[in-house]
Structures are given as structure tokens and as C-alpha cells.
């Protein structure tokens, strides 16, 4: 999975379908990157994610809780229609801001 760290912000770019077939690797890569960098803003670029279920959401929510405890924030970018419905239904879109691009998300990092 593609990850990029820039000035306190970690950009994460998962691809494909986020279900239990990939959540272990997804969680592990995220934990490793959060451990080795000082991250105050985590940006999930979901533009290449075509499917997500509650297991995939759980990984995003878990990192959200972790960042929140440390005073950091989590943003979403490039959410596709079928993924958006799941995010809305779960309430995740009400706690995480969504931006049109990674640049915009980074600019609003505050």
C-alpha cells in the first residue's frame, strides 16, 4: 500500500476492495507508518477504493481513535459513490472531513 509522509501529514492510498482479505495488512502498514513518523494529520485517499465493508471501516475508525487521543486529525479524499454510502450510514463522514484533493486536505491541516 502506498504511503507518503510530508511535514506531519501521512497520506495513505489503499487500492481495490477493503474487506477482511486485506484489513490485516492495511492495519499493519498504517501502524508501522504511524510509529515511525510524527503524524498529526492522516489523509486517506480512497480514490482507488472500489469497495468497503464494516471490516474496512473498522481499520479507518481505529486509526481515527488513535490520532484523536494524540490530538491529531483524520481526513478523507476521493471517496467513490458506493464507498460514500457506507461512510454515511456508519456515521464516519460526520466525524471526518472530506476534501476534493490531497492538496486541499493538506492546506486545511490547521
Return the number of other C-beta atoms located less than 10 Å from residue 106's C-beta. Answer: 18
**Separation CA 1–CA 59 (nearest Å):** 14
Among the candidate windows 2-10, 46-54, 69-77, 95-103, which touches another protein by CB under 8 A? Answer: 46-54
What is the total count of residues that contact another protein (CB under 8 A)? 18
* Residue 20 within binding range of another protein, rule CB under 8 A: yes
Alpha-carbon distances of 43 from 9, 10, 54, 56, rounded to whole Å: 7, 6, 19, 15
* Residue 68 within binding range of another protein, rule CB under 8 A: no
* Residue 19 within binding range of another protein, rule CB under 8 A: yes
Binding positions for another protein, rule: CB under 8 A: 17, 19-21, 24, 51, 53-55, 57-58, 61-62, 82, 85-86, 89-90
Amino acid at each position: 500500500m502506498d504511503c507518503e509522509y510530508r511535514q506531519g501529514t501521512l497520506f495513505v492510498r489503499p487500492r481495490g476492495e477493503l474487506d477482511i482479505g486485506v484489513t490485516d495488512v492495511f492495519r499493519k502498514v498504517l501502524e508501522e507508518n504511524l510509529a515511525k513518523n510524527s503524524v498529526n494529520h492522516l489523509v486517506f485517499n480512497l480514490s482507488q477504493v472500489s469497495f468497503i465493508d464494516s471490516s474496512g471501516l473498522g481499520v479507518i475508525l481505529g486509526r481515527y481513535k488513535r490520532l484523536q487521543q494524540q490530538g491529531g486529525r483524520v481526513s478523507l479524499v476521493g471517496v467513490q459513490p458506493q464507498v460514500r454510502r457506507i461512510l454515511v450510514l456508519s456515521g464516519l463522514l460526520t466525524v471526518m472531513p472530506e476534501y476534493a484533493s490531497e492538496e486541499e486536505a493538506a492546506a486545511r491541516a490547521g
